[in-house]
Amino acid sequence: MKIGVPKEIKNNESRVGMTPAGVFELIKNNHTVYVQQDAGFGSGFFDTDYAVVGAILVPTAAEVYANSDMIVKVKEPISEEYALIKENQIIFTYFHFASSEELTKAMIDSKSICIAYETVEETDGSLPLLTPMSEVAGRMAIQQGAKYLEKPIKGRGVLLGGVPGVPPGKVLVLGAGIVGIQAAKMAAGLGAHVTILDINMKRLRYVNDVMPSHVVTEFSSEYNIRRHIKNHDLIIGAVLIPGAKAPKLITRDMLKEMHPGTVMVDVAVDQGGCFETTVATTHENPTYIIDDVVHYCVANMPGAVPYTSTLALTNVTLPYVLKLANLGWKVATDRYPDLGKGLNIVHGEIVYKELAETFNFSY
Catalytic positions, written as ranges:
96, 270
Q: What would the DSSP string read from start to end of 162-221?
A: -BTTBPPPEEEEE--SHHHHHHHHHHHHHT-EEEEEES-HHHHHHHHHHS-TTEEEEE--
Query: Residue 100: helix, strand or coil by DSSP?
Result: coil
On the 0-12 / 13-18 / 19+ scale of CB atoms within 10 A, 79 is exposed
Q: Which residues of 340-358 are buried (b: 16+ CB within 10 A; e: fewer)?
A: bbbbbbbeeebbbebbbeb
Q: Is the dihedral of CA 94, 100, 101, 107 positive or negative?
A: negative
Tell me which amino acid residue 42 is: G
Identify the CA nearest to 315 among candidates 7, 2, 18, 16. Answer: 18
State the alpha helices, DSSP H only, in 273-305.
none
Identify the CA nearest to 11 among candidates 264, 328, 253, 286. Answer: 286
Identify the CA nearest to 286 among candidates 129, 96, 155. Answer: 155
Identify the CA nearest to 274 among candidates 265, 282, 283, 263. Answer: 265
CA distances from 66 to 4, 8, 62, 174, 348 (A): 9, 16, 6, 43, 20
